[in-house]
Amino acid sequence: MERQAHLTKGASVRYTTLGRTGITVSRIALGTMMLGAWGNKDHDDAVRLVHTALDAGVNFVDTADMYSAGESEQIVGRALKGRRDDVVLATKVHFPMGDDPNRRGNSRRWIRRAVEDSLRRLDTDRIDLYQIHRPDPTTDLDETLSVLSDLVREGKVLAIGSSDFPAEQLVESRWIAERRGHVPFHTEQPPYSVFMRGIERGVLPTAERHGVGVLTWSPLASGWLAGRYRKQAPLVLNDFRRDLIAHKFDQTLPGNVRKYEVVEELVKLAEEAGLPLTHLALGFVLAHRAVDSAIIGPRTVEQLTDLLAAADVTLDDAVLDRIDELVPPGTDLNPADADYTPPHLADPALRRRIQG
């Protein structure tokens, strides 16, 4: 059952239970990837942004060790001083944190070191939700679940989750946990938006079937669904988009060209529904029955305020049906937007029989 916390502008933040963890979280979570060198470099302003979200009723904060090389975690730790007990704090591990080849991945060796580093940067004694940021084909999933289970039993981590895991690996992880006596993943964090609906085919129904909580990221599709990129305007990208996610804007890819057309149709639909485009986009994500919480990633307080005002938006069936017509269920508008590609798709040698 959802509860509400009232905002000063009349909108309301709703709450729900995260999967079967028993943990109550706001249906809008604050993502902090844009706090630090990748986005808002002003630490005082970034702290104000976090406080604004908390004051509005958001109690779920998500970060990762690799966001601005640990700077985001440091900002979050500073912002939560005196408020830590009121917040469900999530962070992640996997991506490189230095040149040493062992300072990355999902091995016991690295996770043991990485969790201590995150605890120090966050200035806390426990992490409420510790997530594996991406699958690691070089590490046995049994090894990863084993060390995560140890951390849960030690109290350093209270719940564990995955991010961008395919449906088959979610099922495999539960089989391993049951057979080996490990703690299973409590949550999955996939990308989900009007433009990225591929997870509707397998990930979301699998998570729902097994009681895995779902917190999604990128509801605005890297700014496309904020109306930031339109046909009549030149494509201007900041350093983060140009350097780290250029494939989501590459105009040689048909899916990215199609985004312009769909944005124009969505702008019309949002106007007919009496909503800003951002509210339509966030309302779509929260409408899926398997989604517990949607992570927003504002860079400024103004962006945050706009998205918080969408907290109580509910899209009717007519609007959702029209979105289905524009981007069919289970479809990624630009397949190249996927942030994780399984090795057997990336490496032709894994798909071809050895001759001779």
For residues 124 and 110, what is the distance between their CA atoms, to the nearest angstrom?
A: 20
Does the CA dihedral 256-235-40-82 come out positive or negative? negative
For residues 172 and 188, what is the distance between their CA atoms, to the nearest angstrom?
A: 14
CA dist list (Å): 310 to 59, 96, 285: 16, 35, 12
CA dist list (Å): 291 to 183, 192, 246: 22, 10, 27
Please give the order of strands across the beta sheet that includes 24-26. Answer: 3-6, 12-17, 24-26
Q: Which residues contact 62 (CB under 8 A, 6 or more apart)?
A: 29, 30, 31, 32, 90, 91, 92, 129, 189, 215, 217, 295
What radius of gyration do the chain's Cα atoms show? 20
Task: Please tell me whether residue 300 adopts helix, strand or coil conformation.
Answer: coil
Report which of 175, 248, 174, 171 is spatially closest to residue 203, judged by C-alpha positions: 171
Compute the C-alpha angle 97/103/104, nearest 5°: 80
For residues 32 and 64, what is the distance between their CA atoms, to the nearest angstrom?
A: 8
CA dist list (Å): 209 to 20, 103, 170: 12, 35, 11
Q: Which two tokens stand for residue 324?
A: 């289905």
For residues 55 and 7, what is the distance between their CA atoms, to the nearest angstrom?
A: 8
Give the number of residues written for the chain: 356
Instruction: State the catalytic residues.
Output: 67
244, containing H or E segment: helix 239-244
CB atoms within 10 A of CB 179: 9
